[in-house]
A = this chain, B = another copy of it.
Amino acid sequence: MSHATGFRRRIRLGPGAEFDLISSLLDRDGDLPPEVVVGPGDDAAVIEGGRLVLSCDLAVEGVHFRRDWLSPREIGYRAAAGALSDLAAMAATPLAALVSYGLTPEDLRTGIARDLQEGIDEACHAVGAAVVGGDLSRSTTLVIDVVVVGRAEAPVLRDGARVGDEVWVTGRLGRSGAALRRLLRNGPSDEVARSVYARPEPRVREALWLAERADLHALIDLSDGLGGDAGHVAAASRVGIVLEAARVPLDPLVAEAAENGRESLDRALSSGDDYELCLVAAPGAVEGLAAGFESRFSLPLTRVGRVVEGQGAYLDVGDGEPVPLRGSGYDHAAPSEPGPG
């Protein structure tokens, strides 16, 4: 099954310490009520018989953003973009957002929240979501939690990939990670890197366009890098996913900075926060849409791999057996996985 159709299911996350913790925290309810179609583990939760999609994204100063790199408006924009990307990952139409602010005493004096909110409004309005409520508190660190609500008659989950399917991605990968590396090296005076880093675009319209035109078996946004996120899809669908190294579309920013092609590829596969989409569909189901997609969104749509029997994500570099991709982009210490069955 590629779509939520009213029954309850749980999604298995790929390996990685962070995912284990989230999973163990949230996945303890033995019985979810019947209204809950998809519980913890997918990009977003689905309730109300599959109609309503919910997700939240917490941004913390010093972890997700630095004030010396971004303007308050950009910080707000990025916080909302992260949550909205989770709706894109379910092919849901954004409807509303709520925002909780933890502001330092200094923030309360300077009125920074107004600028943060402008950025949040901008990201939300660009995809049709209204900011309908929120909360506000004093805090010792600036934190912003954005909760988004979307509607989807048939949300596309992570668990529908089938052996033989094709794996596709939107855009060119590694852009956000390359910008981050340049910022770490050059500081915010690197205006190219700063502007890329400040304005990730959640692929909301792209996801809706694709889901309307193809029977997508699985969909995810690249928040942990294609390597990690392909692993999440593989785990949820109980299949293996082989990525073909030569097909992965690299952003020019990655290639420019890397020593060689293999380093570019590794970086692109582990670049978090790219917000591009990875989609899985039957052979031939997406091919005919690529030209129309590119002309509509000025973004490539590229086949990067295939679904095989087994478990986990693999990289095929063209010189023999595909090799396991270790863990996610975030947790490189995760143990390697068994090979395809």
Interfacial residues, chain A to chain B (CB-CB below 8 A): 18, 21-22, 24-26, 28-29, 32-33, 35-36, 38-40, 44-45, 47-48, 52, 54-60, 62-64, 95-96, 98-102, 108, 113-114, 117, 121, 128, 130-141, 143, 145, 147, 149, 151
**Is A117 a contact partner of B26 (Cβ separation < 8 A)?**
yes
**Is A40 a contact partner of B132 (Cβ separation < 8 A)?**
yes
Number of copies: 2
**Is B29 a contact partner of A130 (Cβ separation < 8 A)?**
yes
**Is A130 a contact partner of B100 (Cβ separation < 8 A)?**
no
Q: Given contacts A56-B134, A134-B56, are A96 and B45 in contact (CB under 8 A)?
A: yes
Secondary structure of the A contact surface, majority rule: strand
Residues of chain B lying within 8 A (CB to CB) of residue A135: 22, 56-58, 145
Residues of chain B lying within 8 A (CB to CB) of residue A114: 24-25
Q: How far is the CA of A131 from the CA of B54 in the complex (A)?
A: 11
**Is A139 a contact partner of B143 (Cβ separation < 8 A)?**
yes
A136 closest partner in B (C-beta): B22
Measured CB to CB, the closest approach of chain B to A133, in angstroms, equals: 4
Q: Which of B58, B121, B136, B137 contacts A28 (CB 8 A)?
A: B121
Q: How far is the CA of A40 from the CA of B134 in the complex (A)?
A: 8
**Is B33 a contact partner of A130 (Cβ separation < 8 A)?**
yes
Q: How far is the CA of A20 from the CA of B98 in the complex (A)?
A: 17
Q: How far is the CA of A60 from the CA of B108 in the complex (A)?
A: 15
